[in-house]
Structure 1
């Protein structure tokens, strides 16, 4: 069957909404858009509720993107049915057809309900879906109630490995232990084997039904056998050396008679052992084989004896590995049972057990009643267990769409199984393909088609004629492709370049040189919609396979001052900043001059040895004693923030001569936040937290998204991204170094999909046959080609591919050999550029020539003091006057003053509630309260739902006391409010301290900022709403000011406004809103249209009263003065 005959063309507006369907969506073909269109059709045509549609994808980022798109499309459709103009023709067509079939009122009702209940949309990761199902159907799945998620299993695994090592390994006879350790047995090797096995890659030697153990008699027997084998090997080798001694003169004469042998052996005459080693090292050469056949034959006997000894030793190690798997698996299971915890893998296994293995009928019925339509996104990343779950639950009587691209299946190390995709392909009722690329320019699409299919019948993805295979289908450009193109010297540049360099270092330099040329060479520009502009740093993506490769390129770019950020899989606990904080924490906990000096001699403080020696030792010791006291009483966050403030860490990193200061700051604050979270969630004392950090630096505590290194500020920077992280992203210009993938044999453990066992297995090379090695090599080559595909298809206009000419038989060479005679107008073979002498990229005028911005964007990098500013960045932290004194209350007063915890989690929960409830309809609050509790306070007290309902009622019905007209939030319709309104506006160079001039009687404005600043002013407004023709800004505050209503009187909250510097915050917010409204209301009048700002201190807010509420309308003169200091245009 021809490739194109396997699939029908996919049209999201017309595909039947029935049965099981598989959609193969090539890169850039609008998969997320299509899913959102299908969701809209389900609402309009099948009249499904949003909660009746399940969408499963495989990363949190994909969940966020998909949910955002669905929300946008549903709201856009609702606007259209209400008579507003929209731009999307497909949505217009779907709504028009629905109104014609169902009537305008019915369609408006469907969409209104969909908008109201968007928070019930089920867009979940696979683990979230499994967890939710196990919780909801706990009886059917035989789950323990209240089970918690064990997010990080590494510490438990390490503890069990340590137990096994102490019990089984350290008790061995010393001679046997020496043999085993010499052959590679170690704690780390056992940890690797067990981790792979528990991660789903079955250790090939392990049998579930076998009990593995060794007793003392076994040890003696093994040791005796190994001694005998070792003695045999030693005897043979000694005999061989003695044979050389006896024939020394003869061997020397033979060697001297051959020029090659003379050159390689003469230096070793007189030392038989060295001579033997030299002969053996050259045994593959013809002259050695001809001169010394008898010596080689006798040496082979020695090798055979050594191999026999090694084989027996490895049998012992393999059995120890199997023992470890059995004992450690049991230990981890017992730990999870005793602590009532489940790992992420357990969720999938447990649901599979209930659905597939035990065939729980009621569970299937319950899931099908709950979800009438199901989408499995990124399906190529699914494994066999996950597919079996979806197929059992939704394979019948459900609208089911599997959507993915097998060409982008690059997670074999995470058990993503291409065989599962083939199985789904065979079982799908209908198969569709998406082959119109909306991401890339027409020229680049043509070059990709040529690259991946250079000649007819080319085996793009290396399936060698297998019945199940992945084929490259030529992708098409849209009829009206408006992407534009990259110009060079005013003409369209060749869309793909393959550049040869002799080695990795030359490739790194070549990549940097090309980036320099793109940014500083005026011959390059981007043409789009008739407008030409220079190339910016943010247009460029450099894609690498390993984090270390990205760091190497970033070092070169940083050397020449080119702004660049790395986006990869680096763990923040593996950074240098984690080590620096370890020293600081150690000094706080174990106070001595040596620990303090080590902590202070750090890039964080910028102190030199001379600076540290000049410090007053008594004062330094006292200061670290205070940090320790703060840590013990108020937590690690406060202790570290005190240290950062005392030693001006942020100022040093931003203003000092510190390379990558912004990167260091990002890591620093992420680590501080992580320490706080771990200390709070695990309830660790200081010593335990220090031990946890040490384990983390050693790589034992790094599971979960919070451990991934965050990206520093990247608005105008070259992105250096790992290929795996780049999936789903796009870059105008892609540079792809290091694509010369080859099969690497020299490693400890191999993992692969075993065709007979039909599952992933792990094994050491000694256990593998030649057939196994061929299979492993083929599977890795297939994945390498898919990595090539993912890399190149990220591009919009151009891709520079770098080839290592010194590396043979690579994945890339398979393509470049065939492309030697390719159309040079689509793919050019080039030598590449060299870095110019004395080059230095300068931000500002010479970074790129001035350009006309698209839309309202007014942003470019200029001076070194450019930064992203916010209220938090400018704010000065004052001492709080409120002191917590416990007084016993009753009812709501007890809850709001004593039970409602202080801290970020409570604030986040309350923000979530205010963002999701309908202010005017209290009867529908309970669902939102339940969702908030489940997310933020799963172990809550029984009366928490009722108390939160009361809190919301007080907030909605409290009096907002503006002089012009008091009102309450209960009168604010949901269509008249925007939550988390984010703003950015550019700020030219100014001195932040000038903002202090905004202070007036009763209103203090304080500022902390180092020197002159410029850049973007950024912020998020909790609530922006309109009431009776006026626009207001509202900020929710859960601050604790005291435990009586008197503590929230107007005088007290006015004091809190000054202490917390909130006047600066609302002045900035007011200016942002003024700019926002000026762009949307042609006749905007500040005095008439702006109502003012509201600060609700929620603990003191009561229905029918104005306690806890601060209101203010800054004068127009004050805002004008602020605007004069921060004059710019809104982005």
Structure 2
């Protein structure tokens, strides 16, 4: 990482004078007010401060890298704008920047500035504050024409299903036809497609990575290998004896080939192995045997001379064969990356899908294809861009911003004009390009010392490259977060090394503190000047110090010190600003959930509660692995092997004896099978979440997990190897939270996938990927006053009064090379496909550099005090101590250069840090305090329920006519026949119940028929019945399941009767539905009547006054009354209500006379319904008609009993009423009556 540092001079930032155009990079060390600076620059841009044109919130682009950071930035900017607004109103605000901004604004312009702030507050929610992916999505959607992309693309956060299909397609198409020898080699490395997917996934996200070498093309390599093997077999048969004789005459290495005096027996064995393979083998030759016989690796004793390839052609041929075999996997991976990527893209293109990564690649590709038009459009839309957390950028992201804000693509003149202008006016003050750039600004804010997200694609080398290209460099060098002593301590630690972050391009500049930071102290019984408290743990002189033992001791000492602090706080002897320290003031910073679990166990043993916050994926938990087994069993409830696997999970909770009962006891077996069948049916019928909740309830999951609400560490933890990682967090709350979280994710995904198999495949793919997407990150299991255990990655951007950092001196687990291995060379990302030692060393160097940045992040989280533990993780070998401390960030800063570090050297180097008062050095207690913390507050406080001091208000709700009539407190209100009551139809007159005639009277009764009849009348224009009625009937019959052949003719005749039946009312000319044009009608008019307070007693009294049925009983209603009017129509200047009733009153037309209809209306309380409809129409017309009068404009209400309507029987099936105007007015007043009023 010896990247040359930029030659640009770094200036201290003054946010009031920073040029807002051009490119500037602001390096903001931890705690130096980065967000405060961004919000201040935002205010300047709103005002046009510094000679700029004022911008709106929609024109100022602010980009950060997470949704949470976006919302935080928006909130902080809003608060600064509010403060500025108050200041420009003339109010006092405690913000020096805003006060200076006010003072520098000309008095005559202050009213305009006030308006700009007011507008900004109103429009900030629509402001251009995005994540990088949100920005790309906005550009691609709003500028689809300029970007030449589809206007409509579906966006998805989860593309794992499509990657799964792409990998399997590639596996099937490429791997299945392979010759056996090639297939064996592929199978040896990948076993199954999912293993390949796990390795390719990262490569797809690092598209700029270049292979370290270019291997032969996979197909041609396969053909060449087959030819070479066949040639080698022939050569072996012909030359093996001569080659053996040649070798036995050489001074061969005895450890590899055996003793010469015994005739080199190991050599003979190697030859026998190859002879057997040549004679009988079908696949590749034994590679270990080939390696030992290869000419290039032939081991001879000292003084021996290797034969030449001409002298030992068979051994030279082995060299060539080995090289080809070793090229198989690199060639396959290159082919797989390209092939899977192609199929992956095709999968998404076919579905018109885009993922967050696709947004970036699509925008970058669009800029490449159309740099002038698109870049100009973006720059015109967003003249100024502020990029937050710029150290977390990647090459593609920087390319996008660079093309928009720093390249000549923005020039709006033709190329010929540019060149002509430049050539003909060499002395011009500015070129057209410079003029185009003059109003644009790219302000990047970041801290390379906090670049810790390489696993998410962030690339510190991109930041360094951008830094070198930037016109102006600034820094923020005053820490407003931490105490002076703590800042001094951190400065001292990182200044111990000349190159603290390995790269020359990332220097450590000393950070200052304001005067107020001197007052930030932890008040303790014995005052301590040291804020950075280092505790060292030496190795055992006889046994060294392995990693599990070290973790156990460090966690115990951390818990003991936390217990001490909390105990003193209860006595009033450990305070922050005179307030006793509490548990949630303390954070323990760890690297992963395994370390968190060890700390949590140590705290739990001392009766101290803790909660773990992490960015880990919930799919990386044990619960996810177990749930996968349970899902397979639920999907296949007759598959006994799968059921046994589910029963064996800790989630299921079966003991070994119970599983044995399932195997041997028929009753027990059948009971379990019945349970799984029940859960399977629930899944199919109601969804996966109800099935899992039923399973949890039936298996008493909540009680079982919470009863074991403590971390259970496997016995013999200290016997594990240093590199072994185990999942130790088994607390009940944690596991229950994970189970519920997984269930929710499954339920959500089930809406997108078809069937249980697809859902299970998706779930199992997540177990492999476990990328830790936002919605998949572990949730907080508790929000009580608890010690915060948090990963260093998640802690970035946060602060805590006191921090413990117990494990950073322990080497990373595992010595296995990562696959794929990515590293940098000359600023470019390289994919090591050959497994070279040089690449691995560079990778480890970059990993150590990131560990140094992680350590910096950890040390800059606390405000008052930080406990840093340093342990000499080591082994005791014959040659002496073998320490791993040199592999760690803190070891690097201490100057530990190799394995030869013992306790004395550690102590010496650590004490060198204590040369200032801000740092103290102590040793970890050999026997940490294990006493239990007594939480006096938890035991002494008497808790009781708070007594209510006021009456409970009525719940606001939406009611309906049905609710008032049927006394239903909550109901769903839908258009159609839902408001009809069919319960009494069967009790009405039935003259001839056995009739078989197909007519209106024999047509089906009930809700289904009622909805059908309503729908028909909604589907056509009444005046166009001759052409539109029959298609409307056919459409409705299809929807409601009526046989066309049987019912089309009778229904057509019946509906013609309905349309032509006169609607008779007093003092009005005859009218029928067939006369009403579409312009005269409003179908299914929806209304909401606001109700302050309505109770049944007052409504009954009002209805009785006017002679209407009045025995209603319902809960007092406050809120809205919702309904749908079947038909509102206008005729001769009056407005009428028509409601269709499908009720069966009898089998003859006379059964639908006025008396019969009145009985039905009173029986079903339809009179209240049409009163409500009339009130709704009355209120509507009052708002819409000038000079509205009820008696003039309201025509009345028709209730049309469809089965009784016939032109041949006047009045049959047609019921009419026009409520008195005074009743409607009083009903209106009743609905508007204020709460608490007794007026009627």
Distance 1:1035 1:650, change over 3 A: farther
State the partner residue of 1:569. 615
Q: How far did residue 776 of structure 1 move?
A: 3.8
Separation in 1 of the partners of 2:657 and 2:57?
66
Distance 1:116 1:310, change over 3 A: same
Distance 1:216 1:838, change over 3 A: closer
Q: Secondary structure at the match of 2:866?
A: strand
Q: How far did residue 339 of structure 1 move?
A: 1.3
The superposition leaves residues 801-845 of structure 1 with CA deviations (integer Å, 9 ceiling, x where unpaired) of: 222313242332232246542315222232123554653345554
- Corresponding position: 1:17 with 2:20: yes
Q: How far did residue 763 of structure 1 move?
A: 1.1
* Contact map agreement 1:488 1:523 (CA 8 A) in 2: no
- Corresponding position: 1:480 with 2:516: yes
Separation in 1 of the partners of 2:330 and 2:396?
28
The superposition leaves residues 907-960 of structure 1 with CA deviations (integer Å, 9 ceiling, x where unpaired) of: xxxxxxxxxxxxxxxxxxxxxxxxxxxxxxxxxxxxxxxx9xx99xx78x8454
Q: Secondary structure at the match of 1:809?
A: helix
Q: Where in structure 2 are the equivalents of 1:308-327 lying within 5 Å? A: 310-327=322-339
- How many correspondences in the alignment? 866
Separation in 1 of the partners of 2:670 and 2:970?
29
- Corresponding position: 1:155 with 2:197: no
State the partner residue of 2:391. 380
The superposition leaves residues 100-148 of structure 1 with CA deviations (integer Å, 9 ceiling, x where unpaired) of: 35134x3332222222112112211111111111111112212123122
Q: Where in structure 2 are the equivalents of 1:489-508 lying within 5 Å? A: 489-501=525-537, 502=539, 503=545, 504=547, 505-508=549-552
* Contact map agreement 2:566 2:583 (CA 8 A) in 1: no
Which residue, 422, 427, 446 being the options, matches 2:469?
427
Separation in 2 of the partners of 1:763 and 1:108?
58
The superposition leaves residues 362-382 of structure 1 with CA deviations (integer Å, 9 ceiling, x where unpaired) of: 222221221132100011111
Q: How far did residue 29 of structure 1 move?
A: 0.5
Q: Secondary structure at the match of 1:117?
A: helix
Q: Secondary structure at the match of 2:870?
A: strand
State the partner residue of 2:363. 351
State the partner residue of 2:786. 717
Distance 1:337 1:521, change over 3 A: closer
Separation in 2 of the partners of 1:87 and 1:530?
23
Which residue, 35, 54, 75 being the options, matches 1:47?
54
Separation in 2 of the partners of 1:645 and 1:35?
51
State the partner residue of 1:517. 561
* Contact map agreement 1:383 1:416 (CA 8 A) in 2: yes
Which residue, 103, 106, 114 being the options, matches 1:108?
114
* Contact map agreement 1:441 1:483 (CA 8 A) in 2: yes
Which residue, 525, 546, 549 being the options, matches 2:595?
549
* Contact map agreement 1:510 1:835 (CA 8 A) in 2: no
State the partner residue of 2:375. 364
State the partner residue of 1:462. 502
Distance 1:1110 1:134, change over 3 A: farther
The unaligned stretches of length 5 or more in structure 1 are: 252-275, 281-288, 851-859, 864-870, 872-877, 895-946, 964-1000, 1005-1032, 1053-1103, 1115-1131
State the partner residue of 2:807. 738
Separation in 1 of the partners of 2:1123 and 2:619?
32
Q: How far did residue 405 of structure 1 move?
A: 0.6
Separation in 1 of the partners of 2:216 and 2:749?
39
- Corresponding position: 1:830 with 2:876: no
The superposition leaves residues 426-466 of structure 1 with CA deviations (integer Å, 9 ceiling, x where unpaired) of: 333332110110110111011111111137xx222223xx5
Q: How far did residue 318 of structure 1 move?
A: 1.8
The superposition leaves residues 178-229 of structure 1 with CA deviations (integer Å, 9 ceiling, x where unpaired) of: 4565577875664355333322165644899996524874452143367689
Q: Name the TM-score, length of structure 1 as normaliser.
A: 0.67
Q: How far did residue 650 of structure 1 move?
A: 3.5
* Contact map agreement 1:567 1:721 (CA 8 A) in 2: yes
Separation in 1 of the partners of 2:487 and 2:1123?
55
State the partner residue of 1:267. none
State the partner residue of 2:847. 780
Q: How far did residue 736 of structure 1 move?
A: 1.9
The superposition leaves residues 603-662 of structure 1 with CA deviations (integer Å, 9 ceiling, x where unpaired) of: 556665778979987776555544433322332233333444455543544456665222
Q: How far did residue 334 of structure 1 move?
A: 1.6
The unaligned stretches of length 5 or more in structure 2 are: 266-287, 293-298, 407-436, 540-544, 712-730, 875-883, 896-908, 945-951, 953-967, 979-1007, 1020-1081, 1096-1112, 1128-1138, 1142-1163, 1170-1226
Which residue, 471, 478, 487 being the options, matches 2:507?
471
Separation in 1 of the partners of 2:83 and 2:707?
46
* Contact map agreement 1:730 1:794 (CA 8 A) in 2: yes
Q: Secondary structure at the match of 2:522?
A: strand
Q: How far did residue 846 of structure 1 move?
A: 8.1
State the partner residue of 1:134. 140
RMSD, aligned α-carbons: 5.1
Separation in 1 of the partners of 2:141 and 2:200?
29
Separation in 2 of the partners of 1:211 and 1:88?
65
State the partner residue of 1:393. 404
State the partner residue of 1:809. 886
Distance 1:742 1:227, change over 3 A: farther
Separation in 2 of the partners of 1:344 and 1:155?
15
Q: How far did residue 677 of structure 1 move?
A: 0.9
* Contact map agreement 1:736 1:802 (CA 8 A) in 2: yes
State the partner residue of 1:403. 445
* Contact map agreement 2:194 2:765 (CA 8 A) in 1: no
Separation in 2 of the partners of 1:652 and 1:707?
25
The superposition leaves residues 308-362 of structure 1 with CA deviations (integer Å, 9 ceiling, x where unpaired) of: 654331112222222222322221122122111223222212212222x234322
Q: Where in structure 2 are the equivalents of 1:905-916 lying within 5 Å? A: none
Q: How far did residue 671 of structure 1 move?
A: 1.3
* Contact map agreement 1:749 1:762 (CA 8 A) in 2: no
- Corresponding position: 1:671 with 2:723: no
The superposition leaves residues 890-912 of structure 1 with CA deviations (integer Å, 9 ceiling, x where unpaired) of: 99x99xxxxxxxxxxxxxxxxxx
Separation in 1 of the partners of 2:573 and 2:1015?
69
Q: Secondary structure at the match of 1:213?
A: helix
Q: Secondary structure at the match of 1:480?
A: helix
* Contact map agreement 1:543 1:736 (CA 8 A) in 2: yes
Q: How far did residue 730 of structure 1 move?
A: 1.6
Separation in 2 of the partners of 1:1034 and 1:98?
52
Q: Secondary structure at the match of 1:543?
A: strand
Separation in 2 of the partners of 1:720 and 1:361?
50
Q: How far did residue 491 of structure 1 move?
A: 0.4
Separation in 1 of the partners of 2:168 and 2:973?
46
* Contact map agreement 1:201 1:760 (CA 8 A) in 2: no
Q: Secondary structure at the match of 2:578?
A: strand
- Corresponding position: 1:332 with 2:368: no
The superposition leaves residues 705-745 of structure 1 with CA deviations (integer Å, 9 ceiling, x where unpaired) of: 21222122144222222222221112222222332476987
Q: Name the TM-score, length of structure 2 as normaliser.
A: 0.61
Separation in 2 of the partners of 1:1036 and 1:378?
48
Q: Secondary structure at the match of 2:517?
A: coil
Q: How far did residue 85 of structure 1 move?
A: 5.9
Which residue, 32, 35, 53 being the options, matches 2:35?
32
Q: Where in structure 2 are the equivalents of 1:633-652 lying within 5 Å? A: 633-652=685-704
The superposition leaves residues 771-803 of structure 1 with CA deviations (integer Å, 9 ceiling, x where unpaired) of: x55544443333232222122111212222222
Separation in 2 of the partners of 1:784 and 1:401?
28
- Corresponding position: 1:63 with 2:75: no
Distance 1:442 1:399, change over 3 A: same
Separation in 1 of the partners of 2:460 and 2:105?
39
Distance 1:608 1:248, change over 3 A: closer
Separation in 1 of the partners of 2:732 and 2:762?
26
Distance 1:362 1:640, change over 3 A: same
Separation in 2 of the partners of 1:824 and 1:568?
35
- Corresponding position: 1:453 with 2:495: yes
State the partner residue of 1:264. none
Separation in 2 of the partners of 1:1108 and 1:689?
51
Q: Secondary structure at the match of 1:374?
A: strand
